[in-house]
Structure 1
Amino acid sequence: MEHVTDLDLSSGARTSVVGVDAGGEGDPVVVLLPALGVAVGYYGPFAAALAREGVATLTADFPGQGTSRPVASRHHDFGYAVVSDEVVAGTVAVARERYAGRPLAFVGHSFGGQVAMVHLATHSSGVAALVLIGSGSPYWRGFPQRVKLLAQTQTLSAVTALRGHWPGHRLGFGGRQPRRLIREWARFARRGALVVERGDEVTEPDFARIDVPVLAVTLDNDPLAPRGSVDNLTDKLAGARVEHRFSTRPDGEEGPAFDHFVWARHPGGFAREVAGWVRSAVRPG
């Protein structure tokens, strides 16, 4: 993926928008929103595969991830609101300027799907469709090992509160993350409500107001977003048209078996499936 522009955030942080150009007038553009702790470069093969289908991609590292700076710390704190209101909004603005007149769609992986929903519920961005890939609610009741999941998420939150950030880059889950975001995420896991902190306003967005076509993909071999977790997230989309699909690597197609992450590095025909759905979803009428 090539560098497109830089985004300066209100906190003084900076991240970069990168992308893969493709298609032309009338072809869709995907704004790709990454998973927690995953740098955007990881999605290069998937973006390249979308480009072969005539779909352009733009994406940016979330604050504290990948090449963005500074990293999350006790002194550099933020939550869902900053990711939605600044990084996602900034990337959408770049897409609108760079690809004027072309329809836009979000593709959110895991945490990125949650952020996409926060953005769509709180902004009039004109994004015409949403694809959720391995994206579910961390609510403990949506997982087979419920009590274990609840204990893990709340322990993670406690460690973050003590250290001032989550050291996931050292502990093998989620990358280095700020305490506010982890506090919101752990509350989501405990209560099932994605409560976002915006100054004095602490509330769950009105997800029922989202009125776009949604494709929710449950991946094979994905204990991080099993069907119960995906259902708990998409149940919030009462006003949307949600289509569910289960994806695995087709028989005879080369590449490792799908899981929560593999699809992005070895997309195969999956990128064609996503591109086809997006093209159909954003078509006028």
Structure 2
Amino acid sequence: MSGTSVETIEIAARDGLRLAATIFEPAGTARSTVILQAATAVPRGFYAAFADHLAGLGRRVVTFDYRGIGGSRPASLRGFPATMLDWADQDARAVADHAAAAWPNQPLGIVGHSFGGQAFGLAPHPRVTHVVGIAAQIGDMRLFDSRVAGRIRFLSRYLAPVLIPFAGYFPAGWFGMGENMPGGVFRQWTRWCLTPDYFFGDPQVGAAERFAAVTARVHLIGFDDDPFGPAAAIEGLAKGFPAGLATTEFIAAKTAPGGKIGHFGFFRTSTGRPFWDQVDARLG
């Protein structure tokens, strides 16, 4: 959008690893700062049009790549150590720390896509006052269509044990699952997917205790044609937050241009743009 300035920077994760990030600065004085937390294996560039739109509405927007993804990917992914908890604890939390320190007198919000919405609950930040989750859910496969669940089980049980040792990472791009990702990320994600209640059922995570620390208002938006975000899974994530903090909303795909939204269409200009101002209204 005219007037928005864009700057590429690096932010140090909590363990010191450098993360690629982009700041979308509005033309005038920013009324708040919003961090955009990506879905699994989706590079930050996918969200540029949406970030630019929010900047045009007066919000400063920070996008970033989790370790092992996009601009935060090392020269080789082979053997690169990373987990989904690292993405939340080391990466997302550090970006929130950076924003809170850089702009201490402004409201801080988060827009989280899929895992990006989960990540805030796993690593909440006390400065964040409003969170909007887009297709953010729990990945408990009992709540998903049998075809989706069957695919995850097959990849986890039969292909990953062969492909990860061979390649040194999980070649997600082969299966239309975003960018290739660190093997540890894929293993942890699929283990959660096949665990009842997702990460809430993993005693090593302590997800219930993590979510209990959330103080922000949380609004989760789902779509009725999203095979990776069924209503029950979105409601399941909402229930993990402290009572009274989380609300849910479901948008009918037929109301979008072309009649389709799915798991990724919200952030595409061609399908999601009519709904973008609704997110701005939820960010306080």
- TM-score of the two chains, using structure 1 as the length reference: 0.83
Q: Trace 1:104-119 onto structure 2 (pairs within 5 A).
A: 104-119=108-123
Letter in 1 for 2:88: S
Q: 270-279 vs 228-237, which deviates more?
A: 228-237
| SS in structure 2 of the partner of residue 165 of structure 1 | coil
Could you say which structure has the higher helix fraction?
2
Partner residue in 1 for 2:135: 134
Q: Trace 1:122-271 onto structure 2 (pairs within 5 A).
A: 124-145=125-146, 148=150, 151-152=153-154, 154-155=156-157, 157-159=160-162, 161-163=164-166, 164-191=168-195, 192-194=197-199, 202-205=204-207, 206=209, 207-248=211-252, 251=255, 257-266=260-269, 267-271=272-276
State how far apart, in whole Å, the 1-side matches of 2:9 and 2:231 are.
37
Unmatched segments (≥5 aa) in structure 1 = 280-285
How many matched pairs? 272
State how far apart, in whole Å, the 1-side matches of 2:76 and 2:206 are.
24
Deviation of the 1:6 alpha carbon: 0.9
State how far apart, in whole Å, the 1-side matches of 2:127 and 2:107 are.
9
Partner residue in 2 for 1:283: none
- Contact conserved, 2:23 with 2:60, CA < 8 A, in 1? yes
- Contact conserved, 1:184 with 1:194, CA < 8 A, in 2? no
State how far apart, in whole Å, the 2-side matches of 1:263 and 1:108 are.
12
Deviation of the 1:151 alpha carbon: 2.1
**Residues 116-150 of structure 1: CA deviation (Å, up to 9, x unaligned):** 21111xxx441112111011111111113275255
> Does the alignment pair 1:276 with 2:277?
no
Unmatched segments (≥5 aa) in structure 2 = none
State how far apart, in whole Å, the 1-side matches of 2:154 and 2:54 are.
36
- Contact conserved, 1:72 with 1:178, CA < 8 A, in 2? no
Deviation of the 1:82 alpha carbon: 2.1
| SS in structure 1 of the partner of residue 47 of structure 2 | helix
| SS in structure 2 of the partner of residue 222 of structure 1 | coil
> Could you tell me which of 44, 53, 59 is aligned with 1:49?
53
Inter-CA distance 23–115: structure 2 relative to 1 (3 Å threshold): farther
> Does the alignment pair 1:34 with 2:47?
no
- Contact conserved, 2:23 with 2:61, CA < 8 A, in 1? yes
State how far apart, in whole Å, the 2-side matches of 1:268 and 1:249 are.
13
Deviation of the 1:20 alpha carbon: 1.0
**Residues 153-180 of structure 1: CA deviation (Å, up to 9, x unaligned):** 5336535553432111233214211222
Q: 13-22 vs 153-162, which deviates more?
A: 153-162
Deviation of the 1:245 alpha carbon: 0.8
- Contact conserved, 1:104 with 1:128, CA < 8 A, in 2? yes
Inter-CA distance 270–88: structure 2 relative to 1 (3 Å threshold): same
State how far apart, in whole Å, the 2-side matches of 1:3 and 1:23 are.
13
| SS in structure 2 of the partner of residue 35 of structure 1 | coil
- Contact conserved, 1:32 with 1:106, CA < 8 A, in 2? yes
State how far apart, in whole Å, the 1-side matches of 2:111 and 2:12 are.
23
Deviation of the 1:19 alpha carbon: 1.9
- Contact conserved, 1:187 with 1:195, CA < 8 A, in 2? no
Inter-CA distance 13–211: structure 2 relative to 1 (3 Å threshold): closer
Inter-CA distance 72–225: structure 2 relative to 1 (3 Å threshold): farther
State how far apart, in whole Å, the 1-side matches of 2:259 and 2:131 are.
26
Deviation of the 1:276 alpha carbon: 0.7
Letter in 2 for 1:171: F
Letter in 1 for 2:273: G
Deviation of the 1:45 alpha carbon: 0.9
Deviation of the 1:5 alpha carbon: 2.1
Inter-CA distance 104–23: structure 2 relative to 1 (3 Å threshold): farther
Letter in 2 for 1:54: G
- Contact conserved, 2:254 with 2:260, CA < 8 A, in 1? no
- Contact conserved, 2:267 with 2:273, CA < 8 A, in 1? no
